[in-house]
Amino acid sequence: MPRIQRYKKNTTGLQYKCNNCQKADEREQGEIKELRQKTRQSLYVHKARGFDSNTGDTTRYLMPPWGPMQDFALGRLGLTWFNWCAESICIGSRQTTSMVLYKVWKTLEADELFHTPQLTPVSDEQKRRAALQLIRYHQYKFYTEGTANNNYKRKTRTILTLNEAIAGVNMNLSVKFALGVSLFSNTILSLGTERHHHFSRAAWNGELLSAVALTEVGHGSNTKQLRTTATYDPSSQQFVINTPDFQAAKCWIGNLGKTCTYALVFAQLITVDGSHGLHAFVVPIRDPTTFLPYPGLILGDIGDKAGLNGIDNGFIMFQNYRIPRENLLNRTSDVTAEGDYETSFSNPEQQLGAALENLSAGRVGIMQESVATLASAITIAIRYSAVRRQFGPDPDGEELPIIEYEMQQWRLFPYVAAACALRIFIESFIDQYLECVEMSHSGAKLAHLDVQDMVKQDPAKATAHPWPNPNKACW
């Protein structure tokens, strides 16, 4: 028996024969014929309708494109086969998500500003391009006024879907938008009050770009030990922000190096009664007309990184820098004009949790961005392996695509599996995360929350499963 069998189409294009023994692959003939007919119909629909973001029908996007991958997508050919539809659903997630992904991808694909340059530009140019891309991205209005006004769960879900869509094609833009608009705006809405909402609106409208300044040189993970201070001065009704030494300089902060005009700064709040722990403040950083930093700030870009050089990660130190009392995000804790500290928490530890809760959404975004990168990379590698041909059973005959070789499969397939598995994990993780945050907003205790509890609370969850059943034909 030859190690590699290859079934080749006969002239009708519907029968497959083994290259070596000339025996027809009887088992699959009917199935292949049916699949081909269905796919042709779908492709016809695809071509006839073109891209129409107004229709809710996404099935046409889930059909394999016609081309060299077609035989692999349709079923077994030689040793290698893919369930194209199931794979694309795993990577593209649910159908509604897929629709958003394809809408964003199609739009950005048609815009030259988003094309990858042939040569990698120097990092300053990458930062300039990312800033221009952000402006253009705002103009496309993938999100609507309604998105910003939705409840926390729906809004965050939309933001994360958009984040995933951009991350698949342009990581710089995805991170820039996530930090400067969505994370900033979400934190304002959940930690701030009515008086801060104009900041959120301005960010969504592209009038303001922010940074989220938490990490310091001396502390990253252990946020409780952060040492930037915001001391309340009752005489001027202002907070005075200070960086005691270089270890307390905010560092690594995305968008801070060159482009943001505001930053969400996390600092230890101090009144005459002492320190009250980490709180978030909206801090003006640059003049929006000149982009020069305000007096009292020492800031700059941290320079070239191993990657993601379109993001201007920066550092900042505060020297008696004053901001109005109203810039404290005060939904859970506040300082009166006279300087009295008021909080809704009996346990000061809860204040830290409340201050940082929203930043977890940013961490979820990082998982999405990482998996989107893996999915893009493995898609490129698989496509290349399906069209690149080397050697074959007959030295003078047709060569085989290299994906038919076990060594190539051994190298690539684990990453296809990883991309699918991680994608599925993130999707269910996001559901549970959003549920937890919503429960915490409503004051519910999370101590005993586990998956079983969540299933019990919502029986629909026990049966609902958004993923394709691998035992069923996906057509």
| Token representation of residue 117 | 């340059």
Shorter beta-carbon distance to ligand FAD: residue 108 or 179: 179
Residues in the chain: 475
Q: What is the nearest approach in angstroms of ligand FAD to the Cβ of residue 316?
A: 11
| For ligand FAD, the closer CB: 284 or 468 | 284
Q: Which is nearer to ligand FAD, 250 or 423 (CB)?
A: 250
Minimum Å distance from CB 254 to ligand FAD? 4
**Torsion, Cα of 236, 242, 244, 248 (10° steps):** 150
Question: Minimum CB separation from ligand FAD for residue 187, in Å?
Answer: 12
Strand, coil or helix: 382: helix
**Residues 305, 313 contacting (CB under 8 angstroms):** yes
Which amino acid appears at position 91 of this protein?
A: I
Tokens of residue 410, six digits = 């051994």
What residues from 435 to 474 belong to the interface with ligand FAD (CB under 6 A)? none
CB 365 within 8 A of CB 212: no
Stretch that binds ligand FAD, among 108-116, 150-158, 227-235, 249-257 (CB under 6 A): 249-257
Q: Which x/- pattern, by CB under 6 A, does the window 208-237 give for ligand FAD?
A: ----xxxx----xx----------------
What is the pattern of x (binds ligand FAD, CB under 6 A) and - over residues 142-161? Answer: --------------------
Q: How many CB atoms lie within 10 A of CB 354?
A: 23
- 10: burial class by Cβ within 10 Å (0-12, 13-18, 19+)? exposed
Question: Minimum distance from CB of 435 to ligand FAD (Å)?
Answer: 25
Residues that contact ligand FAD, how many (by CB under 6 A): 12
Strands 389-390 and 400-401: antiparallel
Closest to ligand FAD by CB, 281 or 341: 281
* Least spacing, CB of residue 356 vs ligand FAD, in Å: 11
CB of 101 to ligand FAD, least distance (A): 24
**368 lies in the site for ligand FAD, by CB under 6 A:** no
- CB of 180 vs ligand FAD, minimal distance in Å: 10
- Interaction mask 34-73, ligand FAD, x per CB under 6 A: ----------------------------------------
Candidates 93, 313, 343, 385; binder of ligand FAD (CB under 6 A) is 313
Residue 218 C-beta: closest distance to ligand FAD, Å:
8
Tell me if residue 24 falls in helix, strand or coil: strand
- The HSE-up count of residue 202 (CA atoms within 13 Å, CB side) is 13
Query: Count of CB atoms within 10 A of residue 40's CB?
Result: 12
Q: Which residue is nearest to ligand FAD (CB)?
A: 220
**How many distinct helices (H) and strands (E) make up the chain?**
15, 15
In the complex, minimum distance from the CB of residue 222 to ligand FAD, in angstroms, rounded to a whole number: 6
Q: What part of residues 168-187 is at the interface with ligand FAD (CB under 6 A)?
A: 179
Please identify, among the stretches 153-161, 207-215, 432-440, 452-460, the one whose residues bind ligand FAD according to the rule CB under 6 A: 207-215
> Is the CA virtual torsion 211, 212, 215, 220 positive or negative?
negative
Q: How far is the CB of 224 from ligand FAD (least distance, A)?
A: 11
- CB 183 within 8 Å of CB 204: no
Tell me the residue ranges of DSSP E strands in 274-375: 274-284, 297-301, 314-318, 321-324, 333-335, 341-343
- Going by their DSSP bridges, the two strands 314-318 and 321-324 should be labelled as unpaired
- Of 266, 263, 179, the residue nearest 215 (C-alpha): 266
Query: At closest approach, how far in Å is the CB of 183 from ligand FAD?
Result: 9
Sign of the dihedral defined by the CA atoms of residues 301, 307, 311, 313, in that order: negative
CA quadruple 290, 308, 264, 228: dihedral sign: negative
Give the Cα separation of 89 and 99 in Å (integer).
11
CB atoms within 10 A of CB 155: 20
Min dist. Cβ of residue 51 to ligand FAD (A): 34
Yes or no: say if 106 and 420 are a contact pair by the CB < 8 Å rule: no
Restricted to residues 251-280, the positions that interact with ligand FAD (CB under 6 A) are 252-254
Comparing CB distances to ligand FAD, the nearer of 92 and 254 is 254
Beta strands 262-271 and 210-213 are parallel
Give the binding site for ligand FAD (CB under 6 A): 179, 212-215, 220-221, 252-254, 308, 313
